[in-house]
């Protein structure tokens, strides 16, 4: 990278945290309560990343979405407390970035309330200079507003920022904001979708970020 990276923005689900089990439980509980058939784990996993309203819209009729959201969110508050875990190397890379002078932020389409539960539950909140979720904005990803607001808040230039995510939508959001997207495989988007989006880099694990992002003082 020609410009020294000063800010690393992360997506949350599928990037730093594995909350798929919690999401799958909550979606299928909601569907069962409303008389819909249960959905497969893979189908739910592929629908994650656009916010919970659009997630449920994949499985229920439009007229039922608002009621489904009430059931889903009530259940999800509980499932997040027992069915989430850090992805491999997440803690280590966050410690590395903090120790070596990087600013760190989160940009997620997940609602603020549930992002907060995850960060507290997994003791991650201490690492982040700023956390912004789509429910605080007029538009969520792939609109670049979420990234542009973080960049402005933390007073860096787009050329000094990377966005790390697991989906093609994350790549497109970064590109729209004029920053470099780094995609991690194994999350919600299949690898072929990620490749078609043409990120700056594709990595198999968060561990590879150390090679891409040397210490600022180096």
What is the per-residue pLDDT across 195-205, written as a single tens digit (0 to 9) for each? Answer: 999 999 999 99
Same domain, 115 and 198: yes
Answer with the one of 79, 104, 122 that is the final residue of a domain.
79
Instruction: Give the model's pLDDT for residue 31.
Output: 97
**What percentage of residues in the chain have a pLDDT greater than 70?**
98
Sign of the CA dihedral 147, 136, 103, 86? negative
Same domain, 156 and 63: no
Given a cut of 60, whether residue 1 has pLDDT beyond it is: no
Instruction: Give the model's pLDDT for residue 83.
Output: 87
Instruction: Give the model's pLDDT for residue 82.
Output: 86
**Does residue 67 belong to any structural domain of this protein?**
yes
pLDDT digits (tens, 9 = 90+) for 113-148: 999 999 999 999 999 999 999 999 999 899 999 999
* Neighbour tally for 127: CB within 10 Å: 19
**Does residue 113 belong to any structural domain of this protein?**
yes
**Does residue 1 belong to any structural domain of this protein?**
no
Instruction: Give the model's pLDDT for residue 3.
Output: 75
**Does residue 171 belong to any structural domain of this protein?**
yes
Instruction: Give the model's pLDDT for residue 208.
Output: 94
Same domain, 33 and 92: no
Answer with the one of 41, 58, 79 that is the final residue of a domain.
79
CATH number, domain of 37, equals: 1.10.150
Same domain, 64 and 139: no
Instruction: Give the model's pLDDT for residue 216.
Output: 73
Given a cut of 70, whether residue 12 has pLDDT beyond it is: yes
Instruction: Give the model's pLDDT for residue 2.
Output: 60
Distance CA 165, CA 9 (A): 9
Same domain, 12 and 24: no
Same domain, 143 and 74: no
Range of the domain at 193: 7-18+85-212
Number of domains in the chain: 2
Given a cut of 60, whether residue 184 has pLDDT beyond it is: yes
**Does residue 110 belong to any structural domain of this protein?**
yes
From 154, 162, 167, select the one nearest 51 (Cα to Cα): 167
List the structure tokens of 197. 């989006």
Answer with the one of 32, 63, 79 that is the final residue of a domain.
79
Same domain, 69 and 101: no
Residues sharing a CB contact under 8 Å with residue 61, sequence separation 6 or more, in sequence order: none
Instruction: Give the model's pLDDT for residue 217.
Output: 63
Distance CA 195, CA 84 (A): 27
Same domain, 72 and 104: no
pTM (2 decimals)? 0.91
**What percentage of residues in the chain have a pLDDT greater than 90?**
88
Neighbouring-strand partners of residue 168: none
**Does residue 159 belong to any structural domain of this protein?**
yes
Instruction: Give the model's pLDDT for residue 91.
Output: 95
Instruction: Give the model's pLDDT for residue 186.
Output: 86
Same domain, 46 and 107: no
**Does residue 131 belong to any structural domain of this protein?**
yes
**Does residue 2 belong to any structural domain of this protein?**
no
Same domain, 119 and 184: yes
Distance CA 148, CA 112 (A): 18
CA terminus-to-terminus distance, the chain: 13
Given a cut of 90, whether residue 218 has pLDDT beyond it is: no
Same domain, 63 and 152: no
Same domain, 201 and 170: yes
Measured at the alpha carbon of residue 216, what is the angle toward residues 210 and 218, in degrees to the nearest 5?
Answer: 85
CATH number, domain of 117, equals: 3.40.50.1000
List the structure tokens of 46. 């592929």
Determine the average pLDDT of the residues in 23-37: 96
């Amino acid at each position: 990278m020609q410009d020294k990276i000063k800010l690393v923005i992360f997506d949350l689900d599928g990037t730093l945290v594995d909350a798929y089990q919690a999401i799958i439980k909550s979606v299928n509980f909601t569907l069962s309560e409303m008389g819909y058939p249960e959905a497969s784990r893979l189908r739910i996993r592929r629908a994650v990343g656009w916010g919970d309203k659009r997630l449920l819209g994949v499985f229920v009729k439009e007229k039922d979405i608002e009621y489904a959201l009430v059931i889903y969110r009530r259940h999800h508050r509980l499932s997040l407390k027992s069915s989430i875990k850090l992805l491999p190397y997440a803690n280590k890379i966050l410690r590395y970035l903090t120790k070596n002078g990087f600013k760190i932020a989160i940009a997620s389409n997940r609602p603020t309330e549930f992002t907060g539960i995850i960060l507290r539950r997994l003791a991650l909140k201490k690492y982040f200079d700023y956390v912004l979720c789509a429910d605080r904005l007029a538009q969520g990803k792939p609109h670049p507003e979420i990234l542009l607001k973080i960049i402005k808040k933390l007073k860096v230039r787009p050329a000094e920022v990377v966005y790390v995510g697991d989906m093609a939508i994350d790549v497109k959001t970064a590109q729209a904001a004029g920053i470099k997207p780094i995609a991690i495989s194994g999350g919600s988007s299949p690898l072929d979708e990620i490749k078609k989006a043409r990120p700056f880099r594709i990595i198999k694990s968060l561990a590879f970020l150390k090679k891409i992002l040397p210490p600022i003082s180096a």
